[in-house]
Each structure stands twice: as structure tokens, then as C-alpha cells.
A and B are shown apart, each in its own frame.
Chain A
């Protein structure tokens, strides 16, 4: 089945930029979606279709996808951005249709 690999953790100072990668074979040919999950809460969609934002999500959250890597970028990081972040794709060619990445813990220093 399709595998999505994320770094376990990313640390960033307030006001700086956090970049979270999601690696997968030819992931650039798929649509990548990103979820934020704060401690004890349900996931929230923050980016869909590589780079679109749902209503209510700040412009500080952006995404890109090319080759074998997709990236979620959080600009001007705030303390409230501290959370786990998961990428996700739909892989119609796989037995596991809906694949989540391994998750990245973003720590705001």
C-alpha cells in the first residue's frame, strides 16, 4: 500500500516559518490534504487539494506538492499552532484507499 512519511517533529520559534514535509512515491501526481490536531481534540482540515484553504483557516497556512514531496508551510508561527499535523492522500490504486502520513509534532519554542 502507499506510504506517506513525515518527520516526527519540527520545532520553530514564534514568528518564524515552519515547514512540514510529506514524502511519497510520485506524490506530486496526487492531491494532498493536511490536518491539524491539537492535544485532546479532533483533526481539523487546514489545507486540501495541495494548496487550498477551507474557510476560516488563516492565510499563514499554505501548501505545495511536487515530485516525491508535499509541504505544509506555516508562516508567522503562533503558540496556538502547536499541534500534530497529518498529510493524507486518496490512492485509488491501493488496497488502502485513504492513506494518512505518520504525523509531525510541531513545537513552538
Chain B
């Protein structure tokens, strides 16, 4: 069975850093672009970052650009999100998601269960 399992969430003070991980299993991880999507408490989904299948191309939402970095280790089937200079508004459940290119664009066909990040003093 295909799975994505996030870890690394927790409570962190504003201005500090945190690294999230996403372990993939059941599929050829190195063949897929991978994303982070977050959801603040009681709010909608917000795309955060993407890395190409080989890690050579990356892109970020403006809200995290310059503070977050995305990386992957295909030998370990693991995706990462390094979050620096955290703010209260970064508080959210962070999901990793697998992306598929369809007829015209990309969609997310597999999601992890998410990990909660709380930024609070």
C-alpha cells in the first residue's frame, strides 16, 4: 500500500526553526514531484512548496519564500521541509502530498495524515 507519513511537528517559539519529514512507501518516490500543503486551524488548504522528482527545481508560496526550504533524499524515500523564522501565522497542520500531471495541470493524488506545527511563546 502507498503511504506518506509526516513527522516533526510540535510547539515552537516565534523566530525559531523546525524541520518536518515525510516518509514515503509503496511507490517509486524518486519518480514524483512532491509538495507541502498546510491548513491553519479552522481554515482552508494553502499550498506551501514543491520540489521536482529529482530535487533540481523548487518553488514556494510567497508567504514562506525566504524562510522555508524544501528538500528530498530519494535514497531514503523522504521529503523534508525546513522552516526558519517561524511566525504565529505558520501555525497549521502540514501535509505532504504527491503530485500527478494530468490533462492540463497538476493535482494531488496522495496525501499524508499531516503533522501539527504550533508557533507560540
Task: Please list the residues of chain A having a beta carbon within 8 angstroms of any beta carbon in chain B.
Answer: 30-31, 33, 35, 37, 41-45, 48-50, 52, 54, 86, 88-92, 95-103
Contacts and interface: CB of A to CB of B under 8 A. Distances in A.
Nearest to B113: A42
Contacts, number: 71
A96 B111 contact: no
A50 B45 CA distance: 19
Contacts of B102: 31, 33, 48-49, 52
Size bracket of the B interface: 20 to 34
B61 interface: yes
A49 B108 contact: no
B47 A33 contact: no
Interface of B: 35, 37, 44-47, 50, 59, 61-62, 95, 100, 102-109, 111-114
A43 B112 CA distance: 9
Closest 7 CB pairs of A and B: A90-B105, A33-B107, A98-B47, A31-B104, A42-B111, A100-B45, A49-B102
Contacts of A49: 102-104, 107
> Secondary structure of the B side of the interface?
strand
Nearest to A37: B45
A98 B95 contact: no
B47 A97 contact: yes
Contacts of B108: 33, 35, 43, 45, 88
Nearest to A102: B44
Contacts of A89: 105
Contacts of B106: 90, 98
Nearest to A44: B111
9 contacts: A31-B102, A43-B45, A45-B109, A48-B102, A48-B109, A96-B47, A100-B46, A100-B47, A103-B45
